[in-house]
Structure 1
């Protein structure tokens, strides 16, 4: 396979042997398979689901010759090496690595869907991603990451109420 570019989302909300979640993300970024061409700043976000711990989130652009299934397998191996264990969905985790986008457009198979199914609704993915790849277009909507982020996080006008008299 020719070299492809991947947008990888990184998340953590538990300490690892590398330290607190933000340090865990920085350590994980050095292990991503391929050449990391950009790494976003780490942001803090509220958890989804039952976890009560805040998350550290980031995004990375990675150039790799791996096909999407091989990239997924490599990311899962890194998660395991960092101490991630299968457990409750949406629970606390040492490390979460997800393929959000890749330069090949769409990919669909039982174990992997690209673009990531929920990334358009997650500010904790879009904010770091737009910081490093604002012009990358979602192959489904045609919108850039900057546009998707603005749609999700932008200020919304407060509807004017009509006077009741």
Structure 2
């Protein structure tokens, strides 16, 4: 992580907006998601600008409990690769264990958008490659960033959400 911070090719005052998705379906998901948001908000180089409501969603993949999902808009002063490292370290902090693809998890943090950047490396794709197909991402993102233009398809989030089946996404009212 240190070498990313000291890269001389990085502008000294990089400030941009980023969108992330949050999800959990193991443990006390509501508590874990709230703690993850708080951790992000207290991380140097990151400022929480907006957070969606939480939504209960059906899991994709093997049989497992429903998820709580939401999105957040961040103002960041870090490059995308470092932001990804931060997200992965927060997942680990809250007990994320990577076993099965699309398996149950305590915390999932996905980097969706980084301003209007299009990036495709072996480690990171921005915009997130499956975000436009996922109601559990688009519904909460449309709540807080409806006019953000997805840079690959050049459509707003509020336009994209109209093209997905949202029947398995419902506003979470708490237990």
Which TM-score tier does this pair reach, normalised by the shorter chain?
Answer: 0.7 to 0.9
The worse-fitting range, judged by mean Cα deviation, of 100-109 and 36-45 is 100-109
Q: 1:66 aligns with which of 65, 70, 78?
A: 78
Q: 1:121 aligned to 2:133?
A: yes
* TM-score, structure 2 as length reference: 0.83
Residue correspondences, number: 151
Root-mean-square deviation (CA, aligned residues, Å) is 1.4
CA contact (8 A) 1:4 1:104 kept: no
* TM-score, structure 1 as length reference: 0.88
Q: Which runs of 5+ in 1 are unaligned?
A: 156-165
> Match of 1:49, SS?
coil
Moved over 2 A (4+): none
1:108 Cα deviation (Å)? 1.6
Q: 1:29 aligned to 2:37?
A: yes
Q: 1:131 aligned to 2:143?
A: yes
Say which one has the larger Rg: 1
Question: Which residue is equivalent to 2:66?
Answer: 54
Map Cα deviations across residues 55-84 of structure 1 (whole Å, 9 max, x no partner).
000000011111000000000000001011
